[in-house]
Structure 1
């Protein structure tokens, strides 16, 4: 069995969740000894596993079908999680849905990260088998590392007693960036750091102004940061706050859970049933609730969810995802 993993415009997506999913899929296949290629000109494969939905992806699917190859389409995006992102995203969301449906409908089998996104796709009227398989997490990368924590604190010149709340995501309204900013305003005793970057000309004016005209002393927008700094931030912060309004999974949440971090999220359907309030995370629905939860977690007046969160991440480790992908590929080849 040989798989062609395809991600269109790798450079453009490398800092996004889909970009991390690409690395995770490669590692997952390697963990199970599954042979694969990422070269779309290589015709020596049994299954095409497409992860993007642009014009070249559609062409490659058509070429594979003509050659009698099986096709797995990975549905990382929905109309719902496209909204409240880029400039005019809400206006063009129906067009975006038609684009992704054109690709999704061509597959013999559809994968999507969560039961929630599976329900959405079923609601679109897709008739192929749809299975939820997490994007996975590299557990070892997020093991606690004192040197990484020191690198993080040194990078931001944090004092020993300075308490830090982090968030990670693109500069999208959908990601809850406005609630993150408001929480920073209301909790000036803590330092809030939002990791991630989006070209400001691509986002709506009100988001652009929040980032470019930030005058909140305890709020930082360092942009896209990788390696030991962000890994140290996951482990070394006092809380991970992710008030996203819509996701298909949320790889950054998995990263925080894997880092033995207390996680605070918005109570939205995508996190059910794998995130349980007060067990492996804390869930809120408003800025007032978020601030109460942040204070409780940082000041340790609320019980820690770190250990349970780590156990949740372990169920989505790269080898586990590799096993699930292998089973899907076997089903596809038998169709």
Structure 2
């Protein structure tokens, strides 16, 4: 039996966390021995849908006609749609209705965290909703001191202190606080990896980007190799997002062993703890104090504990859990029961019991 990973719309979401999640699903299933396909085949058991575009609805309806199950990934919520693109706050209630309709077409809904699962339950979705991390490739993203030199050479950084962040250049991702942090710490170099078409951004964000302080660099969207260099070569990962359903870049940073500072928001509750594996703060003053403490090494090093968190969400671990969901929802058959090894003692005991009944 195969799982059809629907890739329609990947050109639209390919550079986002959703695009990364699609690639992760393929790898997860491959690593746990479940065959995948990118088209309908005679032995397709179910289709994975990751986007909420109109073509995804058509694919779900096509699965119904074929008698196949639909696994819809709930990456998007109304809450993380807000403060993203021009007009998103106004459209957010309509977006909630649309994604509720889409997810309702699934036989199973999978969403990355307990937090996002709680949000979807509040939308009135009646289908089974499972919380399952998007995962991280811990074999690829891992601490590598050798990458520090290549990262710094690439951007001409020398031995400057460096703080990085990753994501779309939108308000929800904490861009404004990141720029203010850079403004308050002119002796530190700040780099933001990621890009959003300026035509999609509200004027406030475009103005903020134009007025960014001189110690901020915008390398734009980079491939995973350069991103790994950045995680391994920078001194702090400051991800100040206001809303997430998980945050794949957080997992990548933790896997690479970079000290991580996050905004203290509900999505991290239960798996990331302030002062234990990351630093979670609420406002710009605390962000500055924490980043300064990390750079001056006056705060404890939490990177080993952060790496342990990433390992619990490795692609192998996520693949095993995903396979269990398939079995529970009867998408895949249960594991075969292996016959017990032959035992002369047990055979003799069975013969003895048989003779005793004569």
- Indicate the residue corresponding to 1:289 in structure 2: 286
Which among 227, 242, 245 is matched to residue 245 of structure 1? Answer: 242
Shift of 1:309: 0.1
Q: Is the CA contact (8 Å cut-off) linking 1:152 and 1:228 kept in structure 2? A: no
Query: For residues 3-14 of structure 1, what are the structure 2 equivalents within 5 Å?
Result: 3-14=3-14
The runs of at least 4 consecutive aligned structure 1 residues that moved more than 3 Å come to 41-44
1:3-34 per-residue CA deviation (whole Å, 9 max, x = no partner) reads 11113211221110001101110000000110
Alignment size in residue pairs: 332
CA distance in 1, matches of 2:136, 2:224: 15
Q: Is the CA contact (8 Å cut-off) linking 2:45 and 2:331 kept in structure 1? A: no
- Indicate the residue corresponding to 2:306 in structure 1: 309
- Shift of the 131–34 alpha-carbon distance from structure 1 to 2, 3 Å rule, reads same
- Indicate the residue corresponding to 2:111 in structure 1: 112
| Secondary structure, counterpart of 1:99 in structure 2 | helix
Shift of 1:93: 0.9
- Indicate the residue corresponding to 2:203 in structure 1: 205
Residue 318 of structure 2 is aligned to residue 321 of structure 1? yes
Which is bigger in relative contact order (C-alpha 8 A, separation at least 6)? 1
Which among 194, 197, 202 is matched to residue 196 of structure 1? Answer: 194
Q: Is the CA contact (8 Å cut-off) linking 1:70 and 1:333 kept in structure 2? A: no
Residue 18 of structure 2 is aligned to residue 21 of structure 1? no
| Secondary structure, counterpart of 1:333 in structure 2 | coil
1:215-254 per-residue CA deviation (whole Å, 9 max, x = no partner) reads 4121111111224322111011111001100000000100
- Indicate the residue corresponding to 1:38 in structure 2: 38
Structure 2: gaps of 5 or more residues = 333-358
CA distance in 1, matches of 2:32, 2:301: 34
CA distance in 1, matches of 2:314, 2:62: 33
Residue 129 of structure 2 is aligned to residue 159 of structure 1? no
Of 143-152 and 47-56, the range deviating more from structure 2: 143-152
Shift of 1:42: 4.0
| Secondary structure, counterpart of 2:238 in structure 1 | strand
TM-score norm. by structure 2 comes to 0.90
TM-score norm. by structure 1 comes to 0.96
Structure 1: gaps of 5 or more residues = none
- Shift of the 257–180 alpha-carbon distance from structure 1 to 2, 3 Å rule, reads same
- Indicate the residue corresponding to 2:271 in structure 1: 274
CA distance in 2, matches of 1:38, 1:270: 31
CA distance in 2, matches of 1:5, 1:43: 15
Of 290-299 and 44-53, the range deviating more from structure 2: 44-53
- Indicate the residue corresponding to 2:133 in structure 1: 134
- Indicate the residue corresponding to 1:144 in structure 2: 143
CA distance in 1, matches of 2:222, 2:238: 17
Of 287-296 and 9-18, the range deviating more from structure 2: 9-18
Q: Is the CA contact (8 Å cut-off) linking 1:76 and 1:113 kept in structure 2? A: yes
| Secondary structure, counterpart of 2:222 in structure 1 | coil
CA distance in 1, matches of 2:240, 2:24: 24
Larger Rg: 2
- Indicate the residue corresponding to 1:331 in structure 2: 328
- Indicate the residue corresponding to 1:180 in structure 2: 178
CA distance in 1, matches of 2:43, 2:33: 17
Q: Is the CA contact (8 Å cut-off) linking 2:111 and 2:129 kept in structure 1? A: yes
Shift of 1:334: 6.3
CA distance in 1, matches of 2:68, 2:177: 46
Shift of 1:145: 2.8
Residue 60 of structure 2 is aligned to residue 57 of structure 1? no
